[in-house]
Structure 1
Amino acid sequence: MEIFWWAVLSTISLWVCYTDVVHRKISNRQSVIVFVLCLILMIYSDNYSSYLHSIIILLMGILLFTFGFWGAGDAKLLSAFSLAIKPDLIPVVLSIITFLGLVLILSQYIFDKFDNYNRYFSADYGVPYGIAISIGANFGVVLTILSGK
């Protein structure tokens, strides 16, 4: 049953990535849907201790948003995803997200050198970090499901 919920979560993640690339926005609706799906996965996997990490991630995300390092949608999205990830996997997931974010930034930089008129990949519009968050967090959710209860 967890695989079904993960498949739905992955589909929603594709929607999040698309809107983040095209509009540079992760809506509250998307974050709430991810939150509900991850809450279901948290219950199925008996991973109740992850709610504390989710709160800490949200608070850190708000702090990063306040200082202009991160978007509010990114903070809410990662916080929602973290509900479905075992706490001991959070450092791995954050490392993956950071690495993928750096790849995104470098890709945007290189792409801007060749085509500075394409707004979807232009760094002038910000980094669509929802892509890195979605990929890294989905990886963490899969590891959580595979590790069992």
Structure 2
Amino acid sequence: MLLVIYSDLRYRIISNALVMVTSLMVLVYCYQADVLSQWLYAIPVFGIGFLLWWLGVFGAGDVKLLAVLVPAIDPAYHLFTFLMIAFSGGIVAIATLLYAKLVTKNNDTTVPYGISIALGCWLGILASLS
């Protein structure tokens, strides 16, 4: 997760390699916890995410990251997770825009939403473990 946050913050890219490593870790976790069926939740998340990417709301790396992290989260905590992603996303967006306006004087910037996805999903995974 820390590499995803660093990569998205520094380069605004979540590489396919990072997503694949994350996917393998989630797959191993789901196998160990006997919740492989939760991978079915990745399908609608990816589908809706693809639509949001197509509309220009999210980056493709953000969509892939969220789709591979959702299976590790107990469905009872999905709403909590999405609310945490939205809440932290708002904070990251405000901080990014303020930094762009005040420090770099750059009006054309993107929000590293992978940070919010990683943090929100991390909280969802932790809640699922209890």
**What is the aligned partner in structure 2 of residue 9 from structure 1?**
none
In structure 2, stretches of 5+ residues that fail to align are none
Q: Distance in 2 between matches of 1:125 and 1:110?
A: 11
In structure 1, stretches of 5+ residues that fail to align are 1-12
1:113 to 96, 101, 117: 101
**What is the aligned partner in structure 2 of residue 134 from structure 1?**
118
Structure 1, 48-57 or 108-117: larger mean CA deviation: 108-117
Runs of 4+ in 1 over 6 A off after TM superposition: none
**What is the aligned partner in structure 1 of residue 39 from structure 2?**
51
2:14 to 22, 26, 31: 26
Q: Distance in 1 between matches of 2:59 and 2:101?
A: 25
The aligned amino acid for 1:138 is W
**What is the aligned partner in structure 1 of residue 57 from structure 2?**
69
How far residue 123 of structure 1 moved from its aligned partner, in angstroms, is 6.6
- Assess if the C-alpha contact under 8 Å between 1:85 and 1:140 holds in 2: yes
RMSD of the TM alignment (CA)?
A: 1.4
**What is the aligned partner in structure 2 of residue 4 from structure 1?**
none
Structure 1, 106-115 or 85-94: larger mean CA deviation: 106-115
Identity in percent: 31
The aligned amino acid for 2:92 is L
Q: Distance in 2 between matches of 1:123 and 1:100?
A: 22
Q: Distance in 2 between matches of 1:112 and 1:76?
A: 26
Q: Distance in 2 between matches of 1:36 and 1:123?
A: 38
Count of equivalent residues: 130
**What is the aligned partner in structure 2 of residue 40 from structure 1?**
28
Per-residue CA deviation, residues 128-148 of structure 1 (Å, 9 max, x unaligned), is 1111011111111111112xx
**What is the aligned partner in structure 1 of residue 108 from structure 2?**
124
**What is the aligned partner in structure 2 of residue 78 from structure 1?**
66
Q: What is the TM-score normalised by the length of structure 1? A: 0.82
The aligned amino acid for 1:98 is A
Partner-residue secondary structure (3-state), 2:13: coil
